[in-house]
Structures are given as structure tokens and as C-alpha cells.
Structure 1
Amino acid sequence: MSQAQNLAQRATRGVVYTMGGLWGRALLQTISTVVLARLLTPADFGLIAMVGAVMGVAELVRDFGMTGAIIQAQNLSDQVWKSLLWLSAGIGAVLGVIIALCAPLISLLYNEPRLAGVTILMAPGVFLSSLVMPLQAKATKELRFGMLATLDISTMAVGVVAGIVTALAGWGFWALVAMAGAQFFLRLIALWAIVRPKWGPPKIVREAWSLLGTGGSIFGAELLGYAEKNLDNVIIGAQLGPAALGQYSRAYALFLLPLQQMNGPLGRVALPVLSTLRAEPDRYRRYIRTAALAIGYLTLPTYAVAAGVAGPLVLLLLGPNWSTAATLFALLCIAGFGQAIGRLRTWVYISLGHSHRQFVYDLFARPLVIAGYFFGIWWGGLEGLVITYGTLTLLLLVPGFAWAIKGTFVRGSDIAAPLVRPAIMALIAFGASYGMSHLLVPTLAIFDILIGAGFALLFIAPLFLIPGYRADLRALWSFVERLRGSKRGARGRAARRRMSRPRPRRRVLRRMPRGGRPSTASASPPATSSTSRTPSPSATRPAAASRSRPRSSPRRSPKPRPTNPSSAKRKATSTASSADAAPPR
């Protein structure tokens, strides 16, 4: 099998493994959301979201772009790897101490005294995360997606159980802290046992500093991106309080579910694969087109239907106390279109080694979105902030992609063309689901969701009579076929390896005749007659016949019986004649 075919098969399997892991996490996260939203109040979620906005900044500083740098690196020697381990651990320890010392300031920022204790307790999580990050990045670089998917599900399951049990025990918002802490500890222990890092002496080699320079550009872009995505929590918490922030945070968490479970697996696999293919422009462009097609059909119609049935969906998942979150969730789905497509831009930047260019663009785009937060909350409160955010996300797609592909072999049609038909399908799906869920008399929430989604499916099904949609369907089906072929090929290769293993040679035990040398005529013991129990020439077998006998445990020689002298003489004569008559080997 060629290297290209092997890479394609590993990438195909990686997408499915990662999608399975993230979909399992989505199911567990949905269960935790449904249960905890009925056990806790919106203010409890808002308190943790306030601390989470600050902790996220510390996480980005701790990472410093090293995750992307490790994945992007073509060659990662043992010395560089050990240096990055020490760098990550040192940065995490320092940041953990700084966060703990800043706990009173965070409490003062939000005018919430309870935040000081929460911040101090969550500060060690930054150090634990600094130990987890390089191990997970190396596993991703080695395309160990099956292991990572299993780890995602198991850690999430333990965290959900811990959160629900502590919430039932009456811990309040501390149940959310327990859920996050349990996931961190289990993930660290599992990755440490699987990757088995070798630290070595605390020495930083020169190559690690150059790799850290590449990570610095990635860090700058990620820091601006994080400020764009989380400064809204700070503004809402400071202006409107924890209850309003709790409504917004749960709506935003539901909004992120499709994005994480669909774009997440593709991104985890696409980034290392595209980094490998950047020396082959044609294959790189084909992979980008396939990724854009998959993102379009998986994400855009999903957000459209979710926006159409947002009211009954939030009522089913969160309960009757979250009506504000339903409106916010429907408006956030507009931004979901832009975020799903914009993921491709990040892959192009990092895989082509243009992280500096990404940082330059983010210096322009991210502050514009942040300014939109202040304008939106001044203009229309929570709803105004969400509308402004979604509008800017869509408008910035065109200049963002134009800057990303400038001077490269990637063309705008490689990204725009595969997204046209999924966008049309999304508009039709939204109109059908929204119309039916609002025209009919409200019943049970689950029935309203099924009716809206069913009519959306009914209206978009005729689109596949159009040749272009059928071609897209064939392209997606060929992706599934490649996966099935790779699985059959893997099973066939394993079977051929088992068949090609040399079988161990069976050890043949020879019987020592009494009164003479061991017989070399046959590997099996000579047969004895029924009267004298001595070998006869006619009973001697060739060696091949002996080897063809079925395997069995060697039989012990019968115990010699006392005989009279005449019988012993006859035995010796018969043994000598048998040895003379045996053909040489």
C-alpha cells in the first residue's frame, strides 16, 4: 500500500473515530444539561461562567500555541519533545499561582464575593491542563484517534456522574466545579499511562524555542479569538448579573453542540492531514473541497432546523425556567453558519504555516467583533448583543478567506462552490421547520420538534432529484465507502500477517531402544508386536509420515517388564535387525 493510500485510510478512520467520541460526549453533555438545569438555577451556571471566562484566558496563555506547533512540526525529536514538556509544566505552574492571587480582583470585577473561593479552587486546574496538553497534542500528531475518542467518552462520563451526584447532594454551583475536576484528573492519568512521557533533565534546547516562536503566532491569534468568544460573558456578567449570564451561557452551550460534534472531528483529523499534504497542491485542494462539502451538509441544515424549533427544543432540554435562553439560542444559530464555515480558514492558516498572517488578520477582525458586543448590549440588551455578533460573523467571512488564500495555491472556488447547495438547503429547512412549529397549536415539546424536523426533511428531500445534489451525495457516500474499504483492508492485512507467520517446528521425541543406539529411521517410536513388545522392521515408518501425525502430547515409554534370558536374547536380535533394515535419512 502506498503512503498516500495509507494516509487517506488513516484520515478516514480518524474522522469516524473522532466523530464517535465527540458524539458520545455530546450525548453525555446533553444528559448532564437536562438533569443539572433542573437541579441548579441560572445563577449557579452564571457564577461558573464568570470564572470560566478568566480561566480560559489563563488556559490560552499556558498553551501559548504549543498544541498547534506540535501538530504542525514535521520532525519532533526526543530532545525537543522533552523541552516542550518542561516548558508547558513551568508555564502552567506559574499561571496557577497568578490566578489564585488574582481571586480577590475577579470577585471585585463582578461584585460577587462567592467568586473568590471558586477561583482559588479552580486555579490548580491550569497546572493539570499544562500536563495534559502536550500529551494529547502528541497523540493527535500520531493519528491515535481511536484512543482519543475512547478517552473523550470515558472522562466525560465520569465527570457527568460526579456533577449529578454532587448536585443531588445539595452542593449547588460547586457541583459544576466537581464535574470539571473529575474530568481533568481522569484525563491526565489516562494520557500519562498511554503516552508515557520521558521527561529527562529540565533543559530547553534551541529547536524548542524556534518551535515556540511558531506557537507564539498561533497563540496571538487564539488569544484574540478567545477574547472575541468570551468577552461577551464578562460584559454580560458585569452589566446584567449572574442570572442573565446563566441564561446566555446555557443557550451558547447548546449552540456549540453541533459545531463541536461535527466540525470538531473534522478539525482534529484535517489539521495533521493538511499539514502533511501542503507539498502536494492538487491533493490539498481536493481535501479542502471535501472538508467544505462535509461541513456544509452536516452543519448548515442542522443549525437551520434547530433555529426553527428553538422554543420547544429548549423547553425539552432545560425546562420552563429558561425561556430567555430559547430566544438567544435561535439568534445564535445565525452565528453558527459563520463559525462553521470559518473553521476552514483556520485550517488553511495553520496547515500552510501562515500563522503570522492569521495573527495580522485577527488584529483587524477580532477588535471589530468585540466593539460590536458593547454596541449590541447598549442597543438591545442580550438580544442586541447576539444579533450584532451573528451579523459581523457572516460579513467577515469574505475578507477573511480572501486574506487566507492570497498568494497560495488554494482558490476561492475550492471553499465557496461546495457550500452553495448546502446553504440553499438550510434556508428551505429553516422555513419549513419554523413555519410548522409556529402555525400548529403547541402540544408536547417532543411532538413539536418532530413535526418541525419532519416537515423540514419533507421539503428538502426533492432537492436530491437535482443532479448537483446527487453528485454531492455520491461524494459523501464515497467517503463512507473509503472507510469501509479501509476497515476491510485492515482486516485482510491482519489475516495475511497471521498466515505469513512461520510456524514453530515441532520437537520430536525419539525412543531409546533397550540395549542399542537410538533409531534414526523414524521420528516416531517403533511399533511393538503383540507377543514380544519389540520393534519389527515392517512397523518402521518414514520420517514424513511421522511428521504428518496430528499433534499430541508425547507418550511415555512403557515400563520394562522382567523377562527370562531367552526372551531377552530374542529382543536384542530383533532390535539389531530393525536398525540394519532402516533406510538412512
Structure 2
Amino acid sequence: MSESLRHSVLSGLFWSLLQNWGGRLVTFILFTILARLLGPRDFGVFAAAVAVISILEIFVEQGLGDALIQKEHVSLELLNTTFLLNLTLSIVLVSLLVAFAPLVAALMKVPQLTNILRVACISTLINAFGFCQQAMYRRNFAYRWLALRFLIATAISGIVGVAVAYAGGGAWSLVAQVVCASLINVGLLWAKPQWKLSARFDFREGATLLRFSSNILGMRILDFGNTRFIEIFIAATLGPTVLGIYAVGVRIYQISMQLLSSAILDVAHSGFSRLAKDREKFNLAYYKATTISATLAVPCFVLLATVAPELCISLFGQKWANSAQVLTPMALLGAVQVIQFYNGASFNALGMPVVTLAINLVKIAFTAFSLWITLGSDLDHMVVAFAIAQALVTPLNFYLAKRKLGIDLGRLFKNVYPVFLACGVMAGAVIMCRSFLSHHELSIYVKFPALLGVGAGVYLALLILFIKKNYLEVLNVFELRRHSPA
């Protein structure tokens, strides 16, 4: 990797981490406040709306952002064409949702969803104005402004949401937060644009871009089926209150996934794309990135699963205790997923999104089967079956990484298996500590940090003493960041 590209990637990684860590931590704090102010039904109604609107956003964006990043040369005409396509699709699809909102609410058996959908989908129309700008920021490794923009929008929209909740707005407080965040995010993107809109278009080049993005679109549709369709399924079969319990438990998993992996993957797609023509350097970057992510992220997910009961009650209150039954299997799934996320970024960077598409196709088949066999069961059984179905695709994922990317699975296993062993020891230490503390009448606010401290301390000690190679890899990344310009 050239010195300039290395600095760009490290700088991008730093600001992307700031956006994800800073922004998501602020989001999580605001989410915690809202969870204490609102009930499971309010969260369930809003979660059902978000699931529907997420489908719209997939079709509006079309995967064109990633296609712009991957493309070697991007002209002004192509950017204008992409912008026009995104905006046109958003107008058409939002109009259709507004018209058919009562039908969607009836199918999901959530009558109050109609008006929520009609207002919340405005965020999709607003976001369409920012897709191209955001893609160009990412392409140019200009993550600093993306991070600051996200932090500002998150803080202001969060305050708006909390204010509406205090005023008794219920689920509308969450709608207000989302729409406000979209307005601020897009406004700040255009305040410092990476390109300026004009009337020059290139529809032929746009069609070429669509051919690449169509594979990404298909992948995201299947990914929605894998990750978000369960929310629609729960709303229709178990009701919005149960969906609210699920939404809070899975939200902790989702935020953790964003904190620990999304920032790195965001930069990885851009960085891997630049190394695509040098397979040896590409593979070295893959091994290092996967090893570092496993060392940092896997223990976090395992610890999260182990302390889930205490975490949910401490943060959200006793009314959300059942959310722990969602968080535990989903966090364990996260520990498995985080080591394979670079596979998808690698396939896309090398122009092989069809491979990721095939993996997701298999995954959605497993997911559909898991929901079918748990139809009529309670939430706990449904979530466990769902997590197992998602994890079962892991062998196929790495088999294709070996075939298509030339990854040495033996070398990769050698790098990551000590992490999983250390995590097993860490989980055992936490369980033993919980058993010891159960004999003492202690507040949950004492038990939770005690369990967290024991788990983190045990893993860190094992890392320093027995997994020195991984430990040094992590230290090296932070040392490089310290000497790299932001």
C-alpha cells in the first residue's frame, strides 16, 4: 500500500470510527432515555414502520453509492444522472407508500401504523438528496465532515425526540427524531458539497453503473430478508408489544455491530478497492484486518451476551427484562458474524458482488425455514432459531472466500481461534462471578459493572499473556494512527 493511500485509509478509519463510536454512543444514550420514557408498544409500532421504510430506502439508493466508490473514474455527468435516478425513485416509492399505508397497516395487524408510515417515510425522500454526496465523501476518504455531520444531526434530533416523548408524544417522538436527523444530515452534506448539481447527464454511463449496482441491490434485498423481515413477522404474528421487546434487545446488538464493525467496513470497501489489482497485498490486508477485528470485536459480543440480563435492566428498567432473551443469542451471532464481514467487503471491492448475493440467497432460505418452524412459538424460541439459521451460513462464506479470494483458511484460523478460546474462559469467569454475587443482596447497579469488569479484565489478561501477536497487531494500528495526519 502506498504511503498516501495508507494515510488516507488510516485517516478515514479514524474519522469513520469517530462517526460510528461517537454518533452511536450518543444515539445509544438517547435511545436509553427514550426506552425509559416509552413503553414496548410504542417501540413496536415504530419498529414496524422502520422495517417497511427500510425496504423503500433499499430501492431508492439502489446500491449506487457503493458502485460510485468502486468505479475507477466518476464524471460530473454520471453524478448528476445518479442523483436524478435516486430522487425520481424516492418520489415514486414514497407516493406509493402514502397511498397504500392503510393496506400495509392492515397486513401487519397494526392499525395505528398508517399515519406513522405516512409521516416517517418523508425521511426517505429527504435522504435521497444526500446519497450521491455521501458516496463521494466516502470515495475521497473525506470522513471528517461525515463524522461531524452525523454527530451534530444525532445530538439535535435526539433532543427533539426526547422533548416530544416528555410531552407525551409516544411513538411520534421516534418519528420526529428520524425526520429531523434526515433534514440535518442532508443539509450539512450540501453545506460542503463534494460535487455541484448541473443539467449535464450521461444516461448511457448511468446504465453501466446500474448493472453493477443491481447485484448490490439484490444483496441488500436479501439482507433485509435475513435481518429485518423478522420484525414484520413478529408484528404480524405476536403483535407490536412483543415487537417492542424484540426491538430493544436487537437494537443493542445492532448498535454494537455498528460500533465494532461498520466503521471499519466502511473504509475497507474503499481501501480494498484500491488494492484490487495486487492480490498479494490485498490478501495480506485481509488477514490483518480480520485478525484485528476479531481481537477487538469478538470478546465484546461474547461479553455482551454474557451480561445481557443485567445490562437490559440497568439501562432500560425492569419492564425491558425480557429483552435480554433477545440480546443473548443475537450477541453470540454477532461474535460469529464479525469475523466474516470482510468477506462481503472483499467480494464487492473485487467486483464480485454476485458472490455475496449467492451467500445471502442461501441465508434467507435458512432464515425463512427458521421462522416457519417457530410459527406459533414464543419470542425466545423464534430468536434462537433465527440466530442459528444466520450462523449456519458461515462455512459457505469462508469456503467461497477461499475459492474466490484465495484466502488461506488455515492461516486465518490460526489467527482467530485463540480469541474464541479466550472468550470462552472470559464467559466462564463471568458466570462464576454471577453465581457468587447471587448469594449477596446487591443492587443491579453494582452487579452489572462488577460482571463487566471481571469479563474485560480476564480477556485483557489472556490477550497480553497468551495472544501477544494479536495484541501487538492492535497496538500497531493505534501507533500508526497516532503518527498519521487526520
| 2:179 paired residue number | 181
Asked whether the equivalents of residues 401 and 407 of structure 2 are also in contact (C-alpha less than 8 Å), the reply is no
CA offsets 1:268-309 (integer angstroms, 9 cap, x no match) = 111100000011112111211121112112211111111221
Q: Unaligned stretches of 5+ in structure 1? A: 491-585
Shift of 1:184: 0.3
CA offsets 1:44-69 (integer angstroms, 9 cap, x no match) = 00001111111111111111111110
Q: Equivalents in 2 of 1:465, 1:306: separation in Å? A: 21
Change (3 A) 1:169 1:290: same
1:403-414 matches, cutoff 5 A: 403-413=400-410
Change (3 A) 1:324 1:138: same
Match of 1:384 among 378, 381, 397: 381
Match of 1:430 among 422, 427, 431: 427
Q: Equivalents in 1 of 2:25, 2:116: separation in Å? A: 27
> Secondary structure of 1:51's match?
helix
1:62-73 matches, cutoff 5 A: 62-73=60-71
Change (3 A) 1:421 1:313: same
Shift of 1:176: 0.5
Asked whether the equivalents of residues 63 and 130 of structure 1 are also in contact (C-alpha less than 8 Å), the reply is yes
TM-score relative to the length of structure 1: 0.80
Shift of 1:464: 3.9
Match of 2:347 among 336, 346, 349: 349
| 1:369 paired residue number | 367
Give the stretch that moved more between structures: 194-203 or 281-290: 194-203
Q: Equivalents in 2 of 1:29, 1:157: separation in Å? A: 8
Change (3 A) 1:96 1:415: farther
| 1:529 paired residue number | none
Change (3 A) 1:64 1:464: closer
1:16-35 matches, cutoff 5 A: 16-35=14-33
| 1:448 paired residue number | 447
Structure having greater relative contact order (Cα 8 Å, sep ≥ 6): 2
> Secondary structure of 2:403's match?
coil
| 2:306 paired residue number | 308
Shift of 1:203: 3.7
Asked whether the equivalents of residues 43 and 243 of structure 1 are also in contact (C-alpha less than 8 Å), the reply is yes
> Secondary structure of 1:321's match?
helix
| 1:565 paired residue number | none
Match of 1:153 among 146, 151, 160: 151
Q: Equivalents in 2 of 1:298, 1:193: separation in Å? A: 36
Q: Does 1:238 align with 2:213?
A: no
> Secondary structure of 1:131's match?
coil
Shift of 1:197: 3.8
| 2:395 paired residue number | 398
> Secondary structure of 1:478's match?
helix
Change (3 A) 1:50 1:458: closer
Q: Equivalents in 2 of 1:149, 1:264: separation in Å? A: 13
Equivalent position amino acid for 2:446 in 1:
F
Change (3 A) 1:154 1:465: closer
Give the stretch that moved more between structures: 147-156 or 21-30: 21-30
Shift of 1:331: 2.1
Equivalent position amino acid for 2:384 in 1:
I
| 2:114 paired residue number | 116
Asked whether the equivalents of residues 301 and 335 of structure 2 are also in contact (C-alpha less than 8 Å), the reply is yes
Q: Does 1:83 align with 2:75?
A: no
Equivalent position amino acid for 1:122 in 2:
A
Count of residues paired in the alignment: 484
Give the stretch that moved more between structures: 54-63 or 440-449: 440-449
TM-score relative to the length of structure 2: 0.95
| 2:197 paired residue number | 199
| 2:261 paired residue number | 263
CA offsets 1:541-582 (integer angstroms, 9 cap, x no match) = xxxxxxxxxxxxxxxxxxxxxxxxxxxxxxxxxxxxxxxxxx
Shift of 1:444: 2.0
Asked whether the equivalents of residues 367 and 386 of structure 2 are also in contact (C-alpha less than 8 Å), the reply is yes
Asked whether the equivalents of residues 63 and 216 of structure 2 are also in contact (C-alpha less than 8 Å), the reply is yes
Equivalent position amino acid for 2:224 in 1:
Y
Change (3 A) 1:374 1:22: same
> Secondary structure of 2:198's match?
coil
Specify the structure having the higher radius of gyration (Cα).
Answer: 1
Q: Equivalents in 1 of 2:372, 2:114: separation in Å? A: 26
Q: Equivalents in 2 of 1:407, 1:163: separation in Å? A: 46
Shift of 1:94: 0.9
Asked whether the equivalents of residues 357 and 404 of structure 1 are also in contact (C-alpha less than 8 Å), the reply is no
Asked whether the equivalents of residues 22 and 151 of structure 2 are also in contact (C-alpha less than 8 Å), the reply is yes
| 1:547 paired residue number | none
Q: Equivalents in 1 of 2:296, 2:375: separation in Å? A: 32
Q: Equivalents in 1 of 2:405, 2:33: separation in Å? A: 49
Asked whether the equivalents of residues 425 and 460 of structure 1 are also in contact (C-alpha less than 8 Å), the reply is yes
Equivalent position amino acid for 1:440 in 2:
L
Q: Does 1:418 align with 2:415?
A: yes
Asked whether the equivalents of residues 103 and 119 of structure 1 are also in contact (C-alpha less than 8 Å), the reply is yes
Higher helix fraction (1 or 2): 2
Match of 1:439 among 436, 441, 461: 436
| 1:143 paired residue number | 141
Equivalent position amino acid for 1:449 in 2:
F
Give the stretch that moved more between structures: 43-52 or 386-395: 386-395
Shift of 1:30: 2.1
Asked whether the equivalents of residues 110 and 240 of structure 2 are also in contact (C-alpha less than 8 Å), the reply is no
Change (3 A) 1:408 1:455: closer
Q: Equivalents in 1 of 2:40, 2:144: separation in Å? A: 36
Percent identity of equivalent pairs: 21
Give the stretch that moved more between structures: 470-479 or 176-185: 470-479
Equivalent position amino acid for 2:266 in 1:
R
